[in-house]
Structure 1
Amino acid sequence: MAAQAATTAATARGSSGNSAATTSIDPSTIPRDPVPTGPIPLKASQEAQVKELYHARVRQKCADEIREFATCASNRTFTATFACRAQRLAMNSCMVGYATQEELDRAREEWWATRSLRKAERDAKERRRVEQEKFHREWWGLDENGLRKVEGKGKGPRGREE
């Protein structure tokens, strides 16, 4: 439980912008998409992204309480439940207080609004992958099938003289 609380605290501290720090796309240059007015069903993976955003927002709002519980629970095993009861109750009540349907709706609206940004990030990642694959093929002298290019006509399929 202490390890889980420490992981939760680390997630709360790092969830504010780790993904933005690794990409070179400026979010301010990409326009925000309008949020659809009617209910549009999402795929399971999209719902999971919304839930992840929702939980990150709740953890961010309760970061102090999570940090206090994680500090109390560090270097403890099952006794953390009893020794850190006040911090645990404060953390749980904070999270329950912010984990509302309205917060989930706000997370869903944010997910819809940042669709263009995620698409631009995926496109940039795919471009980097293609460039790296091209460099790899040139470096190792491979053709499109991943086989070494054979120079000269006298060599067989295994690169030996025939």
Structure 2
Amino acid sequence: MAPPPKEVDDVPRLPMPSRNPLPLSSAQETAVREVYHARVREYCAAEIKQFADCALGHTFSVPWKCREQNRIMNNCMISHATQDEQDAAREEWFALRLKRQRDRELKEERRKEQEKFHREWWGLPQVDKDGEKGKEVLRRAERVGGFPRRDEDALSKDRHR
């Protein structure tokens, strides 16, 4: 079996909140799938490269000319596309929560700097609500599982009736 994917930067990694699957939003599930597919592609990088090299310069004839490389590539990807690999991708996604939070904070700082530069460049007055939008972005943490936001204070759905 191929070695696991390389570590991403030197960001502290958080553990999985629970061994039970947590409900994630559609966007979060998409991000987990992207991690999963990237891990599988990394395992089969050599086979993918062989197929790509064979397909280079061919258009319509790729299915016939590169049949063997395509079969080898697909077999490799199928052999690594397992439930264990999906679980590992989910754990990696959860572990990198701090990195995503730091990236959001850096993006917000950059947005503030650009806004300040824009205001100085065009001679616009400073707005009284300086940074309110940014503070809201930083206050909003990444939600994982639980009730939707409108039901956070409720114990159950029946309580609203």
Query: TM (normalized to structure 1)?
Result: 0.70
Question: Are 1:113 and 2:113 matched, yes or no?
Answer: no
Rounded to whole Å, the distance in 2 between the matches of 1:139 and 1:120 is 28
**Equivalent pair of 1:33/1:115 in contact (CA under 8 Å):** yes
- 1:139, distance to aligned residue in structure 2 (A): 1.1
Question: Are 1:35 and 2:16 matched, yes or no?
Answer: yes
SS in 1 for 2:21: coil
Q: Aligned letter for 1:63?
A: A
The equivalent residue for 1:98 is 80
Question: Are 1:141 and 2:119 matched, yes or no?
Answer: no
SS in 1 for 2:23: coil
1:47 counterpart (5, 21, 29): 29
CA spacing shift, 1:143–1:16, aligned 2, 3 Å: farther
Structure 1 alignment gaps of length 5 or more: 1-14, 21-26, 146-162
The equivalent residue for 2:114 is 132
**Equivalent pair of 1:58/1:95 in contact (CA under 8 Å):** yes
Question: Are 1:89 and 2:71 matched, yes or no?
Answer: yes
Query: TM (normalized to structure 2)?
Result: 0.71
The equivalent residue for 2:56 is 74
- 1:16, distance to aligned residue in structure 2 (A): 7.0
Regions of 4+ moved over 2 Å: none
- 1:31, distance to aligned residue in structure 2 (A): 2.6
Q: Aligned letter for 2:100?
A: R
Q: Aligned letter for 1:34?
A: P
Rounded to whole Å, the distance in 1 between the matches of 2:85 and 2:91 is 10
Structure 2 alignment gaps of length 5 or more: 128-161
Give the length in aligned residue pairs: 122
Question: Highest CA radius of gyration, 1 or 2?
Answer: 1
- 1:34, distance to aligned residue in structure 2 (A): 1.8
